[in-house]
């Protein structure tokens, strides 16, 4: 739900923000408005908070809040990437440019973080097999076989199963904040021009 709302709202809000009469986080040069890459900073910051919450989650409320913020951050990024790629590089090679920034990076990130990092962290916190088959004593004082089945040998229990993965992703989102801030600076002229064209069009009518 959070991802869907973010996808719908981000495009409209970021478009309107370019024309806001504000100098805060703005385009500089005496021109008001907030450049669209500013919302990548917001999305990255939400992602940072979400993974900190998920890494520290000890209650259902913290887990739900972290998951919702993570979904919102994820939902914000992809509409922004479509719009920013088109505005910065133009429509001539829109498909190829977008697939580089979305398709390639998404595939690489999914493989690296979801497959390699998360799997390695998860498996490293699974107890050795002999821990799953220890005999236990029942209420009559007789030895009884553990009820764990073979599936438990491959199952991790506890916060450590994913915690380090969340810390690694949180650290990566810090770099996202930095690169998004850099993009704001680099693309300011693009959005200044967009605002000026819109203003000239408005005056002409």
Query: Tell me: the pLDDT tens digits for 127-139?
Result: 876 554 444 434 3
Instruction: Write down the mean pLDDT value for the chain.
Output: 80
The region of weakest confidence among 2-6, 26-30, 59-63, 95-99 is 26-30
What is the pLDDT, as a whole number, of residue 82? Answer: 85
- pLDDT(148) > 60: no
Considering 50-54, 95-99, 194-198, the range whose residues carry the highest mean pLDDT is 50-54
pTM recorded for the entire structure:
0.77
Q: What pLDDT was estimated at residue 108?
A: 85
Distance CA 32, CA 89 (A): 23
The DSSP letter of residue 153 is G
Residue-level pLDDT at 160: 87
State how beta strands 143-144 and 136-137 pair: antiparallel
pLDDT (tens digit, 9 = 90+) per residue, 95-136?
Answer: 787 777 777 777 888 888 888 998 999 988 888 765 544 444
Quick one: average pLDDT of 178-200? Answer: 81
How far apart CA 38 and CA 144 sit, in angstroms, is: 61
Weakest-pLDDT range from 61-70, 72-81, 127-136, 150-159: 127-136
C-beta of residue 27 within 8 angstroms of C-beta of residue 194: no
* Paired tokens of 52: 């900190």
Rounded to whole angstroms, how far apart are CA atoms 23 and 190? 16
């Amino acid at each position: 739900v959070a991802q869907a709302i973010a996808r719908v709202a981000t495009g409209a809000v970021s478009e309107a923000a370019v024309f806001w009469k504000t100098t805060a986080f703005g385009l500089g040069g005496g021109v008001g408005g907030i450049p669209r890459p500013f919302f990548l900073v917001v999305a990255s910051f939400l992602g940072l908070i979400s993974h900190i919450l998920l890494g520290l989650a000890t209650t259902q409320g913290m887990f739900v809040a972290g998951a919702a913020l993570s979904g919102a951050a994820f939902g914000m990024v992809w509409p922004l990437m479509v719009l920013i790629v088109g505005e910065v590089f133009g429509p001539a090679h829109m498909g190829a440019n977008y697939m580089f920034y979305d398709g390639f990076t998404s595939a690489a990130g999914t493989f690296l973080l979801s497959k390699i990092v998360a799997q390695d962290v998860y498996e490293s916190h699974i107890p050795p097999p002999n821990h799953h088959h220890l005999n236990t004593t029942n209420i009559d004082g007789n030895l009884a076989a553990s009820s764990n089945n073979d599936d438990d040998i491959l199952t991790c229990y506890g916060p450590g199963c994913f915690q380090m993965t969340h810390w690694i992703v949180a650290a990566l989102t810090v770099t996202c904040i930095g690169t998004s801030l850099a993009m704001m600076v680099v693309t300011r002229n693009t959005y200044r021009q967009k605002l000026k064209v819109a203003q000239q069009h408005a005056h002409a009518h």
